[in-house]
């Protein structure tokens, strides 16, 4: 989800809720402690220099149960970040405390913002000799005709 999209969604909501991949909701007394632009400049295993930028939101659970972050307040924080940090309409990455700091992509289901699990990947598979993954077949999808009968020598 891009920054412009979250602002559009926030303008139509009366409350904010983030849902973890396991279906649990982030406690509603969370705070967005950071909104920032993260630039990653790196070289992949095939030798290609790459650069990417994302908007980073950090969610934090405090012991402050009396204050809730309302949509209009988060929009103001985002707009201040855009102005002061010169943030463009970038993809959003969300940090949240799990066993360690976990990073998620962001989606929206019409009610909740969904924290979507991210995975590592090799960006230079063609350079590294990583074979393409073969499609997985289900035995139930295989033909069950008389392609192999006892004594036919096919087995």
How would you write the pLDDT of the chain (155 residues) with one tens digit per residue? 999 999 999 999 999 999 999 999 999 889 999 999 999 999 999 999 999 999 999 999 877 777 789 999 999 999 999 999 999 999 999 999 988 999 999 999 999 999 999 999 888 888 877 777 767 776 666 665 556 666 666 66
Tell me: the pLDDT tens digits for 7-51? 999 999 999 999 999 999 999 889 999 999 999 999 999 999 999
Pairing relationship of beta strands 18-19 and 113-117 according to DSSP bridges = parallel
Beta carbons within 8 Å of 70's beta carbon, 6+ residues apart = 15, 16
Q: By the 8 A CB rule, do 104 and 96 touch?
A: yes
Distance of alpha carbon 75 from alpha carbon 92, whole angstroms: 14
Q: By the 8 A CB rule, do 92 and 57 touch?
A: yes
Q: How long is the chain?
A: 155
pTM value is: 0.79
Distance of alpha carbon 118 from alpha carbon 113, whole angstroms: 15
């Amino acid at each position: 989800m891009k920054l412009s999209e979250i602002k559009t969604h926030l303008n139509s909501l009366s409350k904010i809720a983030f849902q973890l991949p396991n279906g649990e909701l982030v406690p509603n007394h969370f705070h967005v402690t950071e909104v920032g632009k993260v630039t990653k400049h790196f070289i992949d295993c095939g030798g290609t220099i790459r650069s990417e930028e994302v908007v980073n939101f950090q969610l934090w659970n405090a012991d402050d149960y009396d204050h809730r972050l309302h949509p209009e307040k988060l929009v103001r924080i985002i707009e201040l970040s855009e102005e002061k940090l010169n943030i463009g309409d970038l993809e959003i990455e969300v940090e949240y405390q799990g066993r360690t700091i976990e990073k998620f992509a962001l989606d929206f289901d019409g009610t909740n913002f969904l924290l979507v699990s991210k995975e590592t990947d090799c960006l230079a598979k063609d350079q590294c000799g990583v074979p393409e993954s073969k499609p997985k077949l289900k035995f139930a999808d295989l033909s069950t005709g008389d392609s192999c009968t006892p004594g036919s020598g096919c087995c």
